[in-house]
Amino acid sequence: MRLDKWLWQARFFKTRSLAAGVVAGGKVRVNGTPVSKPARSVGPADVLTFAQGEVIRVVRIVACGTRRGPAPEAQALYDDLTPAPQPADPATQNPRFEGKGRPTGRDRRKMLAHGLPGRPTPLE
């Protein structure tokens, strides 16, 4: 079965032309080998690696579908091998935010005294 057709039937892409564009752009790997032809033949036991949004998807083909069916039918076509995303550490997102909301005048003066990143302190 064609690679672009399988990606479309498995509901990874909304249209077949979107799937073909991603494959033609060289953004899909079949068994670790980059592929640039949407007509590349794939079958059961092949492992596909491709980007979908900000997530790198790794899937193993279980079966070739006969139609683009409902989501449960599409999910039966593959095993998802994508590693679980690492939980974001809340301290690294915004170290100054302590859950207080808008800073008070006292907090602003304290921030100005310590200096903002990329700005000189008022004493300089």
Q: Which fold has domain 3-80?
A: 3.10.290
Q: Give residue 124's pLDDT band: very low, low, confident or very high (50, 70, 90).
A: low
Order the strands of the 78-80 sheet from edge to edge.
33-35, 28-30, 47-52, 55-61, 78-80
Higher pLDDT, 19 or 88: 19
Q: Of the given ranges (1-10, 11-20, 88-97), which has the lowest mean pLDDT?
A: 88-97
- pLDDT class of 112 with cuts at 50, 70, 90: confident
- 26 alpha-carbon distance from chain centroid: 16
User: How crowded is residue 30: how many other Cβ atoms within 10 Å of its Cβ?
Assistant: 18
Q: Are 61 and 40 in contact (CB under 8 A)?
A: no
Question: What global pTM score does this model have?
Answer: 0.70
- At residue 41, the pLDDT reads 96
Q: pLDDT (tens digit, 9 = 90+) per residue, 13-52?
A: 999 999 999 999 999 999 999 999 999 999 999 999 999 9
DSSP secondary structure string for all residues of 45-105: T-EEEEEETTEEEEEEE----SS---HHHHHTTEEE-PPPPPPPPHHHH-TT--S--S--H
The residue whose two tokens read 């064609």 is 2
Rounded-to-integer distance, Cα 114 and Cα 28, Å: 48
Q: Which residue has the tokens 């921030």?
A: 111
